Structure 1
Amino acid sequence: MNPSTSRRPKPLDIRAIIGAMLTILGIILTAMGLLADPALGKTGGINANLIAGLVLLVGGVLFVLRSRMSPLKVRTPSGD
């Protein structure tokens, strides 16, 4: 059987999973930063939820893009 036509499953790329989790958390924190009470007195005058949410959102999107741009390569055994 030709290794290029075998029906082997693709490996699970952990970068996509981490990126998805970070993106979801970033969306939640960004929404909380925009919609909820910012509690500026407790955080020194900055909206910590908004900033952390945006950082997580950017990081998660970068992880997902990186996993899409350079997918894992699976070594197939040669059929000698």
Structure 2
Amino acid sequence: MATDSESTKRAGAFDIRMVIALLIGVYGLVITILGIGFTTEAELAKADGLNINLWAGLGMLLFAASFVAWVKIRPLRVPAEDGDQEPTPRSE
């Protein structure tokens, strides 16, 4: 009799949480780089001295990291198809 772990498999790269983490992570990386290297004094004055690009980018990177941690801690299990399982040897 197959146990729960034998009859399911991980979703892997097709888990929507990884897609969301990738998109938010790329956007966060770009915004963080913009906040570190390309912020002018005029932009800081508009934001009352707060480097909003830097903080928003870091927040997005933290959000993406939390999604990746969620995927690693609680992986999505999908039912395995008949062709996906290796045949079990018969004892005669």
* Structure 1 length-normalised TM: 0.76
How far has the Cα of 1:45 moved from its partner?
A: 1.1
Tell me what 1:71 maps to: 75
What CA distance in whole angstroms lies between the structure 2 residues aligned with 1:69 and 1:10?
13
What CA distance in whole angstroms lies between the structure 2 residues aligned with 1:60 and 1:66?
10
In terms of fraction of residues, the more strand-rich structure is 2
The alignment-based identity, stated in percent, is 30
Match for residue 17 of structure 1 among 16, 19, 31: 19
* Structure 2 length-normalised TM: 0.67
Tell me what 1:53 maps to: 57
Note the residue ranges of structure 2 that are not aligned, 5 or more in a row: 82-92
Count of matched residue pairs:
74
What CA distance in whole angstroms lies between the structure 1 residues aligned with 2:80 and 2:61?
35
Match for residue 28 of structure 2 among 2, 26, 29: 26
